[in-house]
Structure 1
């Protein structure tokens, strides 16, 4: 879904932007934790982190942070410039996100979420993907600081694909798909890949575009490169 860029819109109050931003981090962390704890399919980048963590001594939280740092480098290459503010924003965002995903996933498992009947678990897993997409829509529009993966999506979304969230999301999913294939070859097992992963692959990008229009529609894309 395409959106109209608005580079200089500054009509939303600082306090409201802060509220939206905190909400977006919470929704993204909770959505990812839901998909991880249910093991019915995570969003592609999270699924890749889960699979790589299984074949290394690195924890899920640490793997999420490491993969994000690698994407920061990729973003710098695409933009062909070093933006210290952007890099710091990526790093600052990753810290609460990585920690919260780990905490939420652990607590959800303790609550026995994986013991629910299958239709409910499938619904909750897909709901997790929806929450992730809504969160991406919110903090991409605020554009203060983003997770590096979603920064990558936003960069190529407006730089190469005329604002299409669907195409940009599919392109952004290519690296984690490769990482998952490699980890499966090494371990002969696959984790966090299931119905939710297919749902994320097909629907996450379009849901971001829909959320741009219906979730706090007065919030527009700001300060795009």
Structure 2
């Protein structure tokens, strides 16, 4: 296990910045509707299929993932569960709020090639944010905690293999919502980019972005 010698203040700054970066990246992709990260796209499709708000769907989805994570680590860790719940609620409604603002911003008036580039940039921001708070490891969104668990428990730290394993149930859920709603939303070029490159991007960010920040508190 890698150790971390940076101060708690530095960790707090990294953690706060990571949430902002990840939330903004997700919100960009939702607003542009040119392809969101698959977890986010799944929630958008469920939201449209059953006509519930995106924020509420993301919270419910996160709660289900908390249960799955608890099963995988084979213990009821109330501290971990409470942290995941706090992160999940803050992140879910922040993404929902930011995306509603961005839908009325100037980025929506840009031409299609520029909007595609901005969408892909949003995916890159998500990868950076995930890399940062996975390394801080104070608290994680349940989806990212799931990837963290699978990455180190089953795939020896390989972020790419873990990403594809984690995405499989999301793909199944999107297929089910398509049967209900007869359309797919928020899955586009950005989603394909994320499927192909988000895992490697997280690994790259681990190595080249904020090098002082190492993985720690791993207990899988």
Query: TM-score band (shorter)?
Result: over 0.9
Matched, 1:127 2:121: yes
Q: Tell me the equivalent position of 2:167.
A: 173
Counterparts of residues 89-100 of structure 1 (less than 5 Å):
89-100=83-94
Structure 1 Cα separation of the partners of residues 36 and 54 of structure 2: 13
2:103 alignment partner, SS class: helix
Secondary structure in structure 2 of the residue aligned to 1:55: helix
Say whether residues 1:76 and 2:70 are aligned partners.
Answer: yes
**TM-score (normalizing by structure 1):** 0.95
Matched residue SS, 1:156: helix
Q: Would you identify which runs of 4 or more consecutive aligned residues in structure 1 move more than 4 Å?
A: none
Counterparts in 2 of 1:34-45, with a 5 A limit? Answer: 34-45=28-39
Residue aligned with 1:170, SS: helix
Whole-Å separation in 1 of the counterparts to 2:134 and 2:194: 18
Q: Which of 7, 24, 29 in structure 2 is aligned with 1:13?
A: 7
- Shift in Å at residue 110 of structure 1? 1.1
* In the alignment, structure 1 residue 164 sits paired with structure 2 residue 153: no
Structure 1 SS opposite 2:216:
coil
Alignment correspondent of 1:220: 214
Measure how far apart 1:112 and its partner are: 4.0
Instruction: Report the counterpart of residue 45 of structure 2 in structure 1.
Output: 51
- Identify the match of residue 26 of structure 1 among 20, 37, 53: 20
Matched with 2:191 is 197
Q: RMSD across aligned C-alpha pairs, in angstroms?
A: 0.8
CA distance in 1, matches of 2:41, 2:218: 29
Unaligned runs of at least 5 residues, structure 1: none
Q: Give the number of equivalent residue pairs.
A: 219
Asked if the contact 1:37/1:113 (under 8 Å) is kept, the reply is: no
For the Cα contact (< 8 Å) 2:137–2:215, is it kept in 1?
A: yes
The answer to whether structure 1 residue 148 and structure 2 residue 138 are counterparts is no
